[in-house]
Amino acid sequence: MATTSQSISRFAIFTDHIRRKIKLENCIFKFKIDYDKEQLEKESKLFHYKPINTETLNNIYDVSESDKDDLSFIQKDTTWWRDQESWNTGYKLKDENVNDLPESQRLTDLFKRIVGTENIKPNFFTQTKGTEVKTHIDVGTLCAINFMIKGGETPVRFDDADAVFVENYTVALLNVSKNHGVPVQTGEDRLLFKLRFTHNKYEEVKEAIKQYQLDWMMA
């Protein structure tokens, strides 16, 4: 029979496990959905890319409608945020007349319907093999869905005040209003398609996706 102190320590391990699980669920929600990776990769090639650096972040910050934006993470790695060129985002079409983006458009429209919002911004992101993304909070974004196209071997890392979570995923809703980053990219260059929610919080989007999954199962 377990002694009182053994029971207390088992209970402490159990409550710690539950606490970690709740914290993790506040950071990332992985889910399954069909999407055409090859088509998204083709569409990603239609854009010009630029580094996500101090200048870019300040520009987004200037036009952001979020009251949660905080650029103080830059102070921790000032030089990296000023100089980095390995993490980039697509920002404009190479040819404005070539606007053939059926899969990007389909996914954007689908999640507008699921969440009941018009405030979703689609972007492609690239990260070079052998490089990392320093810890940050996404500017102008409350939460985001990432669709991995290439380089999914590398996880996302959430740095909570008293816990670190490192998670691999293929498609996931991420609470990018919490501190997060990407460890050194292994395998191959990373390419992902991101839907950024500018007005809807993580919990709201998560519940909408869960409801959609439930409706789909019942149909």
Which residues in this chain contact Fe ion in the complex, by CB under 5 A? 138, 176
- Closer to Fe ion at the Cβ: 56 or 213? 56
Collapsing DSSP to helix, strand or coil, 142 comes out as: coil
3-state SS of 36-105 is CHHHHHHHHCCEEEEECCHHHHHHHHHHCCCCCCCCCHHHHCHHHHHHCCCEEEEEEECCCCCCCCHHHH
CB of 99 to Fe ion, least distance (A): 26
Collapsing DSSP to helix, strand or coil, 135 comes out as: strand
Cβ atoms of 87 and 57 within 8 Å: the answer is no
CB of 136 to Fe ion, least distance (A): 6
- Closer to Fe ion at the Cβ: 14 or 91? 91
- Closer to Fe ion at the Cβ: 117 or 135? 135
CB of 131 to Fe ion, least distance (A): 14
CB of 138 to Fe ion, least distance (A): 4
SS3 content of the chain, % helix, strand, coil (to 5): 35, 25, 35
- Closer to Fe ion at the Cβ: 173 or 176? 176
